[in-house]
Amino acid sequence: MVRQFDYCRSVKTSKRYSKIFKALSNPNRLELFLKILDGHGIDVEGKAKTCFLAGLCENLNIGAPTVSHHIKELVNAGLIETEKQGKFTTCTLNDNVLAELRGVFAEKNGEGND
Protein backbone atom coordinates (compact mmCIF):
# COMPACT_ATOMS: atom_id res chain seq x y z
CA MET A 1 0.00 0.00 0.00
CA VAL A 2 1.35 3.45 -0.91
CA ARG A 3 1.11 6.06 1.82
CA GLN A 4 -0.08 9.52 0.87
CA PHE A 5 2.48 12.31 0.96
CA ASP A 6 1.50 14.10 4.16
CA TYR A 7 4.53 16.13 5.21
CA CYS A 8 3.14 19.49 4.09
CA ARG A 9 -0.35 19.08 5.50
CA SER A 10 0.28 21.29 8.46
CA VAL A 11 0.65 25.00 7.84
CA LYS A 12 3.59 25.18 10.25
CA THR A 13 5.51 22.52 8.32
CA SER A 14 4.69 24.13 4.98
CA LYS A 15 5.95 27.50 6.19
CA ARG A 16 9.16 25.95 7.50
CA TYR A 17 9.86 24.18 4.20
CA SER A 18 9.05 27.37 2.34
CA LYS A 19 11.65 29.23 4.43
CA ILE A 20 14.26 26.54 3.72
CA PHE A 21 13.66 26.54 -0.04
CA LYS A 22 13.53 30.34 -0.17
CA ALA A 23 16.95 30.45 1.50
CA LEU A 24 18.32 28.03 -1.09
CA SER A 25 16.72 29.86 -4.03
CA ASN A 26 19.42 32.55 -3.99
CA PRO A 27 22.40 31.41 -6.14
CA ASN A 28 25.03 32.75 -3.72
CA ARG A 29 23.32 31.14 -0.72
CA LEU A 30 22.99 27.86 -2.59
CA GLU A 31 26.69 27.99 -3.47
CA LEU A 32 27.58 28.65 0.18
CA PHE A 33 25.36 25.81 1.33
CA LEU A 34 26.91 23.43 -1.20
CA LYS A 35 30.43 24.40 -0.12
CA ILE A 36 29.50 23.70 3.50
CA LEU A 37 27.91 20.43 2.39
CA ASP A 38 31.12 19.48 0.53
CA GLY A 39 33.10 19.95 3.75
CA HIS A 40 30.52 18.08 5.83
CA GLY A 41 31.41 14.85 7.58
CA ILE A 42 33.17 13.48 10.63
CA ASP A 43 36.82 14.12 11.39
CA VAL A 44 39.28 11.57 12.78
CA GLU A 45 38.28 12.47 16.35
CA GLY A 46 34.61 11.74 15.66
CA LYS A 47 33.57 15.41 15.66
CA ALA A 48 31.48 17.06 12.97
CA LYS A 49 33.64 18.84 10.41
CA THR A 50 33.25 22.58 10.21
CA CYS A 51 33.91 25.19 7.54
CA PHE A 52 35.53 28.48 8.44
CA LEU A 53 33.58 31.50 7.22
CA ALA A 54 36.81 33.19 6.10
CA GLY A 55 37.55 30.25 3.81
CA LEU A 56 34.10 30.48 2.28
CA CYS A 57 34.59 34.19 1.56
CA GLU A 58 37.80 33.48 -0.35
CA ASN A 59 36.06 31.00 -2.67
CA LEU A 60 33.27 33.33 -3.79
CA ASN A 61 33.31 36.58 -5.73
CA ILE A 62 31.24 38.41 -3.10
CA GLY A 63 32.32 40.51 -0.15
CA ALA A 64 32.47 39.40 3.47
CA PRO A 65 29.41 41.46 4.54
CA THR A 66 27.33 39.82 1.80
CA VAL A 67 28.58 36.37 2.79
CA SER A 68 27.67 37.14 6.40
CA HIS A 69 24.15 38.11 5.31
CA HIS A 70 23.73 34.88 3.34
CA ILE A 71 25.07 32.82 6.24
CA LYS A 72 22.52 34.52 8.52
CA GLU A 73 19.71 33.55 6.13
CA LEU A 74 20.90 29.92 6.06
CA VAL A 75 20.99 29.93 9.87
CA ASN A 76 17.50 31.47 10.07
CA ALA A 77 16.22 28.74 7.74
CA GLY A 78 17.71 26.13 10.06
CA LEU A 79 20.04 24.70 7.41
CA ILE A 80 23.32 25.48 9.16
CA GLU A 81 24.64 26.42 12.56
CA THR A 82 27.50 28.79 13.33
CA GLU A 83 29.89 28.99 16.23
CA LYS A 84 32.54 31.51 17.18
CA GLN A 85 36.01 30.06 17.76
CA GLY A 86 38.15 32.95 18.87
CA LYS A 87 38.04 35.53 16.10
CA PHE A 88 36.79 33.00 13.54
CA THR A 89 33.28 31.78 12.80
CA THR A 90 32.67 28.16 11.80
CA CYS A 91 29.69 26.73 9.98
CA THR A 92 28.23 23.23 10.25
CA LEU A 93 25.21 21.64 8.64
CA ASN A 94 22.12 21.01 10.69
CA ASP A 95 22.00 17.23 10.24
CA ASN A 96 18.43 16.97 11.53
CA VAL A 97 17.05 19.31 8.84
CA LEU A 98 19.13 17.62 6.15
CA ALA A 99 17.83 14.19 7.17
CA GLU A 100 14.26 15.51 7.26
CA LEU A 101 14.57 16.93 3.74
CA ARG A 102 16.02 13.66 2.48
CA GLY A 103 13.04 11.88 4.02
CA VAL A 104 10.57 14.25 2.36
CA PHE A 105 12.07 13.69 -1.08
CA ALA A 106 12.44 9.95 -0.54
CA GLU A 107 8.77 9.76 0.47
CA LYS A 108 7.73 11.89 -2.48
CA ASN A 109 9.63 9.59 -4.85
CA GLY A 110 8.05 6.50 -3.31
CA GLU A 111 11.23 5.26 -1.64
CA GLY A 112 10.81 3.52 1.66
CA ASN A 113 7.10 2.77 1.16
CA ASP A 114 5.85 -0.66 2.10
Q: How far apart are the C-alpha atoms of 70 and 62, rounded to whole Å?
A: 11
User: Which residues of the chain, if any, have pLDDT below 70?
Assistant: 1-9, 40-57, 59, 107-114
Q: What is the pLDDT of residues 33-63, one digit of tens each?
A: 888 887 765 444 445 556 666 666 676 777 8
Query: What are the backbone angles phi and psi of residue 86, rounded to the nearest 5°?
Result: 70, -125
Contact (Cβ atoms closer than 8 angstroms) between residue 59 and residue 8:
no
Task: Give the domains, in start order, of the chain with CATH numbers.
Answer: 11-108 (1.10.10.10)
Task: Provide the sign of the torsion angle of the four alpha carbons 86, 73, 46, 41, taken in this order.
Answer: negative
pTM for the model:
0.74
pLDDT of residue 106: 80
Show Cβ contacts of residue 82 under 8 Å, excluding neighbours closer than 6 positions. Answer: 53, 71, 75, 89, 90, 91, 92
| CA contacts within 13 A on the Cβ side of 52 | 7
Q: How far apart are the C-alpha atoms of 95 and 80, rounded to whole Å?
A: 8
User: Residue 105: helix, strand or coil by DSSP?
Assistant: helix
